Amino acid sequence: MNRLLLAATALAAGLAASVASAEITVYTAGPAKLIEKLTAGFTASTGVKVDVFQATTGKVMARLQAEAANPVADVVISASWGTATSMAKDGLLLAYTSPNAAKVPDFLKTDTAVAEGVSALAIAWNPTSGTPRPADWTDLAKPDFKDLVTLPDPAKSGSMFELVSALDSAMGETIFADLAANGAIVAGANADALNPVLQGAKAAVFGAVDYISLSAKAKGESVEVIFPASGTVVAPRPAMILKSTRHADEAKQFIDYILSEEGQQMVADTYMMPARTDIAAKRPKIDELTLLPLDADKAYGARKETLATFAATFEK
Amino acid sequence: MTGRGGAALRGGAALGGLAAVVAAVLTVIVALPFLFILLQAIFPGIGVGSFADPFAALIEVLGSGNLPRAARNTLVMGLGTVAVTAVIAVPLAALRALFRLPGAAFWDILFLVPFMIPPYIATLGWVMTGQPRGYLEQLTGHNIAGLLFSVPGIILILSLHCFPVVYFALSRSFAAVGGRFADVSRVFGASPIVAFGRVTLPLTLPALAASLLLVFAMAIEEYGTPAVLGTRIGFRVLVTGIDEAIGDWPVDLPGASTLALVLVGLATAAFLLQRRLLARGGFETTGSRPAESGRRALGRWRLPVLLAFAAVAFVSTGVPLMAVLATALSRTVSGGLALSNMGLGNFASVFAAGSAARGALLTSLGLGLVAALLTGLLGAVAAFVVLRTQARGRGYVDVVAALPNAAPGVVVALGMILLWNQPWLPVTPYNTLWILVLAYVLLLLPQPVRYTTAALQQIAPSLDDAARICGASELTMARRILLPLVAPHLMVAMLLVFVVAARELVASLLILPVGRQTIATFIWRQFDQGSVGVGMAMAFVTIGLTTLLPLIVLVAARRADALG
């Protein structure tokens, strides 16, 4: 027993000792592959090491809030633009405009945040499902799609919440009542909504994250990404530097790297839209999409009510 | 458990010191994080050191109409799982322990596997098997979506995951009681069924109650299964409510903490109830006379019994394992079970040199091992202090060691951050792997406490007295008499801690030290980004490893037993 304990202690000490002291710490929402490539490329070109914590936007923000007394992160990348506005309002962010942000359109940058890339919501449709190709959101409420539609839960997906808000004000709340009456189901997080469609249990996701579905398609999955005619919402992913950082120079270098041609190419490779207009995307770009009007302040002001109404609509 | 006067040690200085050390360690590891959870529930701005707006969130959450429903659904899920688990496990355990079952060791191994399959993986496996156009429909033309996405479906899947806990605890306990006590009652004219119902079963009550309580706690704190299956049917429980509060921006930390306190309250109520039920009556079966286990023959019941064992093994082990393997081998999900769609690509990317998966495997197995040893040690000593000494502070140890019952991982993680990331701390485990060890010890401490307590309750105090008459000191008695008798139970508890710690997801996701991954967070990232196949390949490798390692330990222990 003693020998076992000793061995375990040695093992644990080894584990703890191997935690490298890095130069900057980045908290980020997915995808994991993108941040792995970005940090590897950044370290190779600057020699600055990067430690990463990757989770959902919600978990990243929860950790930031719990750490508020003694912040650990230098750079934060989230999947929800609202986080940037809110943290700027609380005075938590360092003002920085990267020279590489010159080619980023104005609506994708502020004094304290700049988009890494942009994703949009779409319909993810399985062409082998025996259903007609949908062209707009309302098609999914038609009898062809009876019991065959999934929706991500807007309580678990920030961009889905924005889509719900935007569609509520654009079409009135009938669209979701019609979907519910047509047997559509709220499946959980984004991945939970897509999976049944890939296997064929369902025919389409109403509000799928475009780049995840596009990369599934690239892997050979039977799925098509359709941007609805009446418009959709986009989710720019803000990258920002915390004011509390003790490595402001390295953090700024990291933002520069994300916005460099090399960094933006990595963003494009994930099937997201790169923030810079001069980098080619592997999918339709933002000026090719129809956008639904959205008053973000108003939408987030009424978030609880919107979520409650949405949940009640799909309650059985 | 109040120590019986005769058994409890009046405690020399050594025991008093031991109790003080345990109390101090428990304070740091358990009580302080809980204090911060409580503070977070009361003061929304505690993260930045502000005490403004006290009780605002508490009042909002407790006053909302959703809470009673979520609490009721949680109870339905917990009690339902306890009931179904008992129905599956009690007969199997009795048959395994009291009769000569052909291939007994084989069934034991098969029944170990369901517990090794993380419930979120098993659930996903069942979804991919049972939904329309799932594996079952591809093979047989039928699907079971109606049963799957329902409250009974959730309870059934949780029960199939939990039943090994009861099966192993009970078969051990039945074996300890043996046919011996029942034989005596049969001599006095009781029928076999009466003897089982009036003598054997009641004597195993501590083990039954302890393991069912564990099942209850596991069920009400389980996140993946109700999240995947329940969302569609509007079945919301406390844990899914907690996750929603932190799942997306804007986050609601005070709301999550409040719901967590309700959940811990439920588990504590169950714990107190279990105690009241067991307060009456003595359960000592390990007396000074050795037990000879005389197992009976099954006779003409042999075939039906074997069929029952096979059916349970197929549903609990076979189906989820095959679903995991099928998904791991599929190139694409939409390609289905076609031979042309099969390949080893997903496994290759798990084992690729320098892959994150290999690092995650090593990290988790190491964490599991360290957590198991520390939790086992702390839990066993705590149970001993509470049950067999009269040292001061044992009441405190008793309460604090039971506090983590069903504590939801995500909120424990919050408490750990609030406590260990204070700027004035000279050293901190935060942002090292030790923070995960601390979290796992906290979350899993009730396991070794429960197992050791149940074991100690079956050891007659006459053994302690005998040791003392022979001149042994209290500590010698504990080491030479109690430890060897408790050791098998403690080892089972430590294996349990190892397995659960090695796959823990919810707390790890939030307090993962930067630059690190565990098995579960790796799998979660794959799922989150749509790489189901790679996630399932990693899950399959993990299930294999976590089944194999405890098996090796158990076989080695049995061999040592046989030699000794």
CATH number of the domain within which A239 lies: 3.40.190.10
Q: Which of A230, A221, A223 lies closest to A208 in space, CA to CA?
A: A223
A260 with A305, same domain: the answer is no
Task: Quickly state the pLDDT bin for A5 (edges 50, 70, 90).
Answer: low
Question: What's the mean per-residue pLDDT of chain B?
Answer: 85
Q: What residues of chain B lie within 8 A of the CB of A196, using their CB?
A: 127, 131
Tens digits of per-residue pLDDT, A261-312? 999 999 999 999 999 999 999 999 998 999 999 888 899 889 989 998 998 9
Neighboring chain B residues of A69 at a CB cutoff of 8 Å: 47-49, 418, 421-423
List where CATH 1.10.3720.10 sits in chain B.
1-48+354-518, 59-286
Residues A181 and A202 both lie in one domain: yes
Q: What pLDDT is recorded for position B197?
A: 76
Q: Indicate yes or no: CB of B433 within 8 angstroms of CB of A69.
A: no
Residues A75 and A219 in one domain: no
Instruction: For residue B416, give the chain A residue with the closest CA.
Output: A66
Q: What is the pLDDT of residues B64-93, one digit of tens each?
A: 777 888 999 999 999 999 999 999 999 999
Same domain assignment for residues A112 and A29: yes
What integer pLDDT is reported at residue A1 of this predicted model?
46
Answer whether B509 sits within 8 Å of A55, measured CB to CB: yes
Please indicate whether, in this complex, the C-beta atoms of A57 and B511 are within 8 angstroms of each other: no
Nearest of B528, B432, B358, B562 to residue A19 by alpha carbon: B432
Distance in Å, alpha carbon of A99 to nearest chain B alpha carbon? 28
Same domain, A127 and A29: no
Residues A255 and A156 in one domain: no
Contacts of B132 in chain A (CB under 8 A): 200-202
Q: What is the pLDDT of residues A47-102, one digit of tens each?
A: 999 999 999 898 899 999 999 989 999 999 999 998 999 999 999 999 999 999 99
Is residue A264 assigned to a domain?
yes
Residue in chain A lying closest to B413 (CA): A63
Q: Which domain holds residue A85?
A: 21-118+235-283
Choose from B124, B127, B225, B333 for mutation: most chain A CBs within 10 A: B333
Task: Test A316 with B145 for CB contact under 8 angstroms.
Answer: no
Do A22 and B515 make contact, defined as CB atoms within 8 angstroms?
yes
ipTM of predicted complex: 0.86
The predicted pLDDT at position B284 comes to 62
Q: Which among B127, B234, B510 is the nearest to A63, CB-wise?
A: B510
Taken in order B197, B203, B206, B210, the sign of the CA dihedral is negative
- The Cα of A5 is separated from the nearest Cα of chain B by a number of Å equal to 7
User: A222 contacts in B (CB within 8 Å)?
Assistant: 332, 334-335
* Residues in chain B closer than 8 A to A219 (CB atoms): 331-332
Helix (H, G, I), strand (E, B) or coil at A87: helix
- Report how far residue A35's alpha carbon sits from residue A259's, in angstroms, rounded to the nearest whole number: 13
Low-confidence ranges of chain B (pLDDT < 50): 1-11, 288-290, 292, 564
Contact A212 B530 (CB under 8 A): yes
Are A191 and A296 part of one and the same domain?
A: yes
Residue A2 inside a domain? The answer is: no
Q: Identify which of A67, A221, A311 has the shortest CB distance to residue B333.
A: A221
The number of domains in chain A is: 2
| CA of A290 vs chain B CAs: smallest distance (Å) | 25
Residue of A nearest to B330 (CA): A221
- Report the CATH superfamily, name and number, of domain B1-48+354-518: MetI-like (1.10.3720.10)
Is residue A159, in this structure, part of any structural domain at all?
Answer: yes
Find the helix or strand (DSSP H, E) in which A305 lies: helix A303-314
**A8 domain-assigned:** no
pLDDT score for B4: 40
Query: What mean pLDDT is predicted for residues A9-35?
Result: 68
User: What pLDDT shows up at residue B162?
Assistant: 93
Q: Do A159 and A296 fall into the same domain?
A: yes
Q: Which residue has the higher pLDDT, A13 or B245?
A: B245
Nearest-CB residue to A66 (from B49, B356, B414): B414
Q: Which residue, B399, B404, B382, B403, is CA-closest to B391?
A: B382
Q: Which residue of chain B is at minimal alpha-carbon distance from A208?
A: B530
Which of the 8 DSSP states describes residue A100? Answer: G
Q: At a CB cut-off of 8 Å and minimum separation 6, what does A316 contact?
A: B233, B234
How close does chain A come to B228, measured CA to CA in Å? 7
A192-208 pLDDT tens trace: 899 999 999 999 999 99
User: How many residues are recorded in chain B?
Assistant: 564
Q: Say yes or no: A228 and A242 in one domain.
A: no
Contacts of A8 in chain B (CB under 8 A): 369-370, 373
What is the distance between the alpha carbons of residues B511 and B520, in angstroms, rounded to a whole number?
A: 13
Residue B250: is the preceding peptide bond cis (ω within 30°)?
yes
Same-domain pairing of A36 and A75: yes
How many contacts does A have with B, using Cβ atoms within 8 A? Answer: 200
- Beta strands A75-77 and A50-54 are unpaired
Per CB-CB distance under 8 Å, the chain B contacts of A78 are: 249
Alpha-carbon distance of B217 to B404, in angstroms, equals: 10
Distance from CA of A287 to the nearest CA of B (A): 26
Q: pLDDT, tens digit, for every residue of B269-297?
A: 888 888 787 766 556 666 544 454 567 78
Chain A residues with CB-CB distance to B133 below 8 A: 199-201
A180 and A208 housed in the same domain? yes
CA-CA distance, B409 to B222, in Å (whole number)?
A: 10
CATH assignment of B59-286, among 2.60.40.740, 2.60.120.260, 2.40.110.10, 1.10.3720.10: 1.10.3720.10
pLDDT attached to residue B45: 78
pLDDT for res A18: 41
Q: Is the residue at A258 inside a domain?
A: yes
Same domain, A164 and A211: yes
The mean of the pLDDT values for chain A is 91
User: What does the pLDDT read at residue A123?
Assistant: 98
CB contact under 8 A, A67 and B47: yes
Rounded to 10 degrees, what is the CA torsion of B514, B515, B518, B524? 90
Q: What is the pLDDT of residue B178?
A: 67
Rounded distance between C-alpha atoms, residue B506 and residue A58, angstroms: 13
Domain assignment of residue A4, yes or no = no
Which residues from A are below 8 Å from B49, CB to CB? 69
Measure A94 CA to nearest chain B CA, in Å.
18
Angle at B31 between CA B447 and CA B58, to 5 degrees: 105
- Is A272 a member of any domain? yes
